[in-house]
């Protein structure tokens, strides 16, 4: 197994040693000890603060995909309609998931290097009467950040639940769950929280809980069993105590640094990354820099290179970046500067290697 001195993958990100120490501890059973439920409650409060919400917070074990599937299964009943707002792979993924689950789906799509048009979303919502509207805050493969407020207001207007994947933005940029009227917000541990992948965090509104109760979906990824955790001190499975401890360390570090300082650090690092890239002739993938997320930058693979050769040359010098998927595979690559990687020194060192490789 290879370790890279400079890791700039847009998730999973490098885990600081100070968080990794949580896995060296020997806890009791998370099912039985009051300490675990206290820790769960503390993490709920810290998460509310980080995400700008007074809504309830559910923390489950499992990679973020588990709550993307679980939220759709838990909030929609057979025959319900879902309107997927998509300007990237994850937005389209929501539509694919809902179709696979048998729901009636309409997708409002836009090019990957642009943002969705709220006016088109509103027209579709008024015509289609969806039970839920889904959106993706940061489209990690294309490096864009979709403003959520207009979409949240449309969901309110048509009485649809607003489900938002902010897996790769939460913790790096403000998410403002309440101001953006998000009913179910979805976050993973392996992006801006700088942890390994095994924890997922959801914010759930009162409206969403009503839907979840009515739908009454039962399954490994169901939301309903989590409704009164930690008050009822009972969970559907043995929780990941080590992950929960590491989450506490990560959230506490964010609060200690100050949320505004953390967001400013992400913005500064993103601006630096793009400036250095411009100087060496790399072209940003999104058409307009103002639609980019502060957590990840996407660039076209330079014309004289294949991604495979470029990637191999960077790795040989100790730098690992992100490739891409779907129609962006081989064409667009990413620099992940979220969480522990939102570090100007680290990004400068990484981009210096990119420049050296391009010169050869």
Ligand X SMILES: *Cc1c(COP(=O)(O)O)cnc(C)c1O
- The minimum distance between CB 81 and ligand X, in angstroms, equals 22
If one counts every other C-beta atom within 10 angstroms of the C-beta of residue 325, the result is 12
Positions 66 through 125 that interact with ligand X (CB under 6 A)? 90
Pick the closest to residue 273 from 325, 318, 330, 334 (CA basis).
Answer: 334
Binding mask 6-45 for ligand X (x = CB under 6 A): -----x----------------------------------
Query: Which token pair is 146?
Result: 């979709």
Nearer to ligand X, 192 or 245 (CB): 192
DSSP labels for 267-336? HHHHHHHHHHHHHTT--BSSSSGGGB-TTEEEEEPPTT--HHHHHHHHHHTTEE-B---GGGTTTEEEEE
- The span of 26-34, 119-127, 161-169, 300-308 binding ligand X (CB under 6 A) equals 161-169
Nearer to ligand X, 90 or 223 (CB): 90
Query: Which token pair is 300?
Result: 């076209």
Query: Which token pair is 77?
Result: 């009943």
Phi, psi angles (nearest 5°) of residue 91: -65, -45
- The minimum distance between CB 136 and ligand X, in angstroms, equals 5
- The minimum distance between CB 169 and ligand X, in angstroms, equals 8
Applying CB under 6 A, among 20, 41, 65, 313 the residue interacting with ligand X is 65
Determine how β-strand 6-7 pairs with β-strand 319-320.
parallel
Distance, in Å, from the CA atom of 332 to the CA atom of 298, rounded to the nearest integer, reads 6
Applying CB under 6 A, among 33, 63, 104, 153 the residue interacting with ligand X is 63
Give the burial class of 25: count Cβ atoms within 10 A of its Cβ; 0-12 exposed, 13-18 middle, 19 or more buried: exposed
- The minimum distance between CB 15 and ligand X, in angstroms, equals 15
- The span of 1-9, 76-84, 136-144, 276-284 binding ligand X (CB under 6 A) equals 136-144
| Binding-residue total with ligand X (CB under 6 A) | 13
Binding mask 182-221 for ligand X (x = CB under 6 A): ------x--x------------------------------
Cα 337 → chain centroid: 13
Distance, in Å, from the CA atom of 218 to the CA atom of 316, rounded to the nearest integer, reads 48
Q: Any contact of residue 293 with ligand X (CB under 6 A)? A: no
- The minimum distance between CB 140 and ligand X, in angstroms, equals 3
Nearer to ligand X, 72 or 276 (CB): 72
Applying CB under 6 A, among 13, 58, 136, 175 the residue interacting with ligand X is 136
Q: Any contact of residue 64 with ligand X (CB under 6 A)? A: yes
Beta bridge partners of 297: 335
Tell me which residues touch ligand X (CB under 6 A): 11, 63-65, 90, 136, 138, 140, 165, 167-168, 188, 191
């Amino acid at each position: 197994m290879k370790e890279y001195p400079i890791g700039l993958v847009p998730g999973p990100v490098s885990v600081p040693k100070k968080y990794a120490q949580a896995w060296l501890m020997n806890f009791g059973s998370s099912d039985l000890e009051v300490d675990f439920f206290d820790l769960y409650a503390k993490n709920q409060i810290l998460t509310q603060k980080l995400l700008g919400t007074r809504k309830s917070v559910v923390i489950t074990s499992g990679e973020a995909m588990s709550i993307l599937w679980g939220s759709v299964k838990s909030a929609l009943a057979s025959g319900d309609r879902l309107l997927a707002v998509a300007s990237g792979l994850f937005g389209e993924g929501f539509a694919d998931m809902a179709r696979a689950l048998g729901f009636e789906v309409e997708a409002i799509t836009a090019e990957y290097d642009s943002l969705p048009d709220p006016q088109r979303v509103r027209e579709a919502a008024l015509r289609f009467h969806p039970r839920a509207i889904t959106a993706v805050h940061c489209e990690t493969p294309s490096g864009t950040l979709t403003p959520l407020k207009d979409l949240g207001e449309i969901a309110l207007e048509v009485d649809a639940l607003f489900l938002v994947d902010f897996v790769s933005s939460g913790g790096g940029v403000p998410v403002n769950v309440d101001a953006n009227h998000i009913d179910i917000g979805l976050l993973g541990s392996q992006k801006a929280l700088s942890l390994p992948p095994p924890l997922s965090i959801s914010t759930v509104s009162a409206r969403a809980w009503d839907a979840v109760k009515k739908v009454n979906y039962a399954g490994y990824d169901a939301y309903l069993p989590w409704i009164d955790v930690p008050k009822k001190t009972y969970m559907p499975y043995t929780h990941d105590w080590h992950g929960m401890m590491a989450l506490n360390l990560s959230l506490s570090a964010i609060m200690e640094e100050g949320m505004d300082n953390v967001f400013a650090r992400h913005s500064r690092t993103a601006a630096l990354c793009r400036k250095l890239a411009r100087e060496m002739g790399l072209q940003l993938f999104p058409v307009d820099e103002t639609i980019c997320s502060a957590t990840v930058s996407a660039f076209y693979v330079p014309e004289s290179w294949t991604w495979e050769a470029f990637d191999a040359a960077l790795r040989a010098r100790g730098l690992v970046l992100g490739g891409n998927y779907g129609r962006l595979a081989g064409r667009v690559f990413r620099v992940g500067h979220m969480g522990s990687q939102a570090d100007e020194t680290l990004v400068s060192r990484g981009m210096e290697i990119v420049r050296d490789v391009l010169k050869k």
